[in-house]
A = this chain, B = another copy of it.
Amino acid sequence: MDAAEFRRRGREMVDFVADYLENIEQRPVYPDLEPGYLRSLIPTEAPLEPENYEDIIKDVERVIMPGVTHWHSPYFFAYFPAASSYPAMLADMLCGAIGCIGFSWAASPACTELETVMLDWLGKMLQLPEHFIAGTHGHGGGVIQGTASEATLMSLLAARCKAIRRVHASIPENSEADILSKLVAYTSEQAHSSVERAALIGGVMMRKVPTDNSYAVRGDMLKKIVEEDKAAGLIPFYFCATLGTTPSCAFDHITELGPLCNEENMWMHIDAAYAGSAFICPEFRPLLNGVEFADSFNFNPHKWLLVNFDCSSIAKNNPFKHNLTVTVLLLCPSSVLQHWQIPLGRRFRSLKMWFVFRLYGLKGLQAHIRKQVDLAKEFESLVRADKRFEICAEVIMGLVCFRLKGSNELNQNLLKRITESREIHLVPCQLSGRFVLRFAICARSTESRHIQQAWRHITQLTFELLQEPNH
């Protein structure tokens, strides 16, 4: 394919993309097929000779689309949102064309530099403390990671390195292996599985901290478990706080937890993967109070800030940079950015932020967050007005946790009917041992009419379910 054909096929693809997104509402949001469906639809080997472009595009509808869970359907209410916007898609096209691998400054200076400034823009939007901002002389600053999982892992590795050095400096006869075997990290019992996974990869123990009846960790809960572990000879070194947990969007009390971590020489990382984007609105910013005690902070603009996946941002204050740089500098002296991430290569992902921030403006981004929170409140009101249902966690952002009053089995049956209907898509969670339905406002295109329609659909299925003899 030469440039001339790309011009033609590119225009067609732009239309294909626009058509797909404009008409996505007509597609069943969740696929109706069995695992393994695709293999029999395509050859078992790559073709020897080139094929026609038309055949490939036909196969997109024949092979791919039937197996897609349509995350950008206005009837998709599962997981958390995956951001998508036209400006981000345009920037990604440019990113593909430039096609640089930004593993060092020299490998493409604009790639490193725009990223640094975009992370500063983000930090300022969130009103992060000055020491998280790179500026011209700062020691803080951020980088784009692929996912929050990677950001958590990087923070844990940095904390591990810092702790080993600190303990080794004070008790030199302790070997690194001895110290490593005594290190213990903490996170909420409500935290995402990727936090526990980071500890597994880093080869350190991790203990789960119980939460209060809002599913949030409080200072005294962490304090108690840290005291026990210290008494048992362990070395507490890391706490991963969550702002906006995956099951119920709960917020750990970082104003209590932060000072405790600082006092105990424990690294505090904040994982605000979903909720972090909302802190650009002044009315939500108080939930981030306490960030000044943190060593690192991460959230995903690719979830809720209209920047297409993958784009997770991590900001660190001085100690982070200092420590991780020192650790890995021996291996890769050419750059700093690469010490803040697992992969060495990196796409020019900051272009997406640049396009999105400029084409929406801060006000446009705030409007997007507020609209989705309002839609969640609208759904919450519908649920609360129906006495058969209950709300299971405070609705603070775009997530509503709800269930039918009654058994877990009843709610499992309801979700099964919802999933099989393929009109809307939800996933469940467990809260205090109860099976709960999560209704997350996800697509940029979701409007009030979709919320109303979703609720009509849920109540219709509920009606049918409750009419069955065994209920």
Contact = CB atoms under 8 A, between A and B. Distances in A.
A181 to B, nearest CB: 3
A53 B180 CA distance: 52
Nearest to A106: B69
A16 B63 contact: no
Nearest to A8: B14
A60 B114 CA distance: 11
Contacts of A49: 361, 363
A39 B357 CA distance: 16
Interface stretch (A95-103, A314-322, A402-410, A459-467): A95-103
Contact of A355 (B56, B63, B65, B100): B56
A121 B46 contact: yes
Interface in A54-98: 55-56, 60, 63-72, 79, 82, 84-90, 92-94, 96-98
Nearest to A92: B96
B193 A180 contact: no
B1 A332 contact: no
Contact of A362 (B47, B107, B113): B47
A193 B342 CA distance: 12
Contacts of A36: 113, 136
A15 B4 CA distance: 9
A35 interface: yes
A308 interface: yes
B331 A109 contact: no
A176 B90 CA distance: 50
Interface stretch (A145-153, A381-389, A429-437): A145-153
Interface string A142-176: 00001101100100010010000000000000011
Contact of A69 (B108, B176, B181, B344): B108
Determine how many copies of this chain the complex contains: 2
B86 A5 contact: yes
A203 B203 contact: yes
Contact of A361 (B48, B109, B116, B360): B48
Interface residues of A, number: 128
Nearest to A328: B197
Interface stretch (A18-26, A234-242, A253-261, A392-400): A18-26
A203 B42 CA distance: 43
A275 interface: no
Given A6-B18, A46-B362, A117-B38, A99 B86 contact: no
A150 to B, nearest CB: 6
Contacts of A15: 7
A436 B23 CA distance: 57
Contacts of A113: 35-39, 67
A13 B202 contact: no
Given A33-B109, A71-B101, A98-B68, A42 B117 contact: yes
Contact of A101 (B79, B193, B345): B79
Interface string A354-380: 110111111110000000000000000
Interface of A: 1-7, 9-11, 13-18, 20-22, 31, 33, 35-39, 42, 44-51, 53, 55-56, 60, 63-72, 79, 82, 84-90, 92-94, 96-101, 105-111, 113-114, 116-117, 120-122, 124-125, 136, 146-147, 149-150, 153, 157, 160, 175-178, 180-181, 193-194, 196-197, 200-203, 308-310, 327-328, 331-332, 342-345, 347, 351, 354-355, 357-364
15 contacts: A3-B86, A6-B14, A13-B94, A36-B113, A64-B98, A67-B111, A68-B109, A69-B109, A84-B97, A149-B345, A157-B201, A193-B331, A196-B331, A201-B201, A309-B345
